[in-house]
């Protein structure tokens, strides 16, 4: 099973609008958000995952979305450069945690935007990396150099799927969840060439964040309300865990956005 980094939602709120999901007129219920986050944490522990916690910091409400902090391999982390100034202040806290826990911290040049596991997902010995909204395509070269493995760059074109992990989820080297309409035709073809077996997620369930799933062995954690995707995963032998994520979807994130894979 995996080891994950989570951040308690002590300061979580929607206080700005930097993606198509955020609305100052539709504030999350903080008490319910805490309950939903605890449900995710308990589910991870229940399937045997280890959970570390990044201390939340006042003024940085999106720290709860730890998948955007960077990407990790072994004891090395490639830190994010956030596109928006509303999130840029998270980076020093992320760096501090990794330094305190013995990681070698690598960085991308400051002028290039890169948002960690939100836009860089490992699929076997290849990394699929998204660009178009939060990450610059030129940043992918640094991911490739850091990982010492090839990168396949794909262009995201729908603002509702502004991070790769909202529309693509590797299940294993040759199998993945995909919402094709989130990509241009070149990106769709690249993924289809790389991954021979795909579960194509409908627009309706993609907007419920079906692809924003956590995979650990035969267990998959995904937001509730994605029954069609669940049934197809179960047909392939996976045990699904449907979790309430409504208050985090209001900020444009769900299960996977809330967890960074450490091991």
The verdict on whether 169 is a catalytic residue reads: no
Strand residue runs (E) in the chain: 3-6, 50-53, 70-73, 76-79, 104-106, 120-123, 126-131, 151-155, 168-172, 175-178, 197-200, 214-216, 219-223, 239-243, 260-261
Question: Which of 7, 123, 255, 257 is flagged as catalytic?
Answer: 257
Is 163 noted as a catalytic residue in this protein? yes
Q: Which two tokens stand for residue 227?
A: 């029954």
Query: Of the candidates 101, 7, 4, which has an alpha carbon nearest to the alpha carbon of residue 48?
Result: 4
- Strands 214-216, 219-223: pairing is antiparallel
**Backbone phi, psi, residue 22, to 5°:** -75, 135
Going 131 to 136 to 142 to 146, the CA torsion angle's sign is negative
Active-site residue identified among 163, 179, 219, 241: 163
**What φ, ψ does residue 123 adopt, rounded to 5°?**
-135, 95
Opening angle at CA 175, ends 173 and 180, nearest 5:
120
Q: Active-site residue numbers? A: 163, 257
């Amino acid at each position: 099973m995996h080891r994950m980094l989570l951040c308690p939602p002590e300061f979580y709120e929607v206080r700005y609008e930097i993606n198509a999901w955020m609305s100052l007129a539709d504030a999350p219920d903080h008490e319910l958000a805490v309950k939903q986050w605890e449900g995710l944490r308990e589910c991870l522990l229940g399937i045997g995952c280890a959970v570390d916690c990044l201390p939340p910091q006042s003024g940085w409400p999106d720290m709860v979305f730890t998948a955007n902090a960077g990407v990790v391999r072994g004891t090395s982390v490639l830190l994010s450069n956030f596109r928006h100034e509303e999130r840029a202040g998270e980076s020093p806290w992320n760096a501090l945690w990794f330094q305190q826990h013995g990681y070698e911290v690598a960085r991308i040049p400051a002028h290039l935007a890169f948002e960690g596991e939100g836009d860089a997902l490992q699929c076997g010995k290849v990394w699929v990396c998204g660009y178009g909204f939060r990450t610059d395509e030129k940043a992918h070269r640094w991911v490739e150099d850091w990982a010492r493995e090839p990168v396949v760059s794909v262009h995201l074109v729908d603002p509702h799927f502004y991070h790769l992990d909202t529309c693509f989820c590797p299940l294993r080297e040759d199998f993945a969840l995909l919402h094709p309409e989130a990509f241009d035709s070149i990106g769709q073809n690249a993924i289809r060439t790389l991954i021979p077996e795909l579960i194509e997620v409908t627009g309706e369930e993609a907007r419920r964040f079906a692809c924003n799933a956590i995979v650990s062995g035969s267990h998959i954690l995904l937001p509730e309300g994605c029954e069609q995707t669940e049934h197809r995963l179960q047909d392939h032998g996976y045990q699904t865990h449907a979790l309430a994520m409504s208050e985090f979807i209001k900020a444009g994130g769900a299960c996977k956005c809330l967890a960074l894979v450490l091991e």
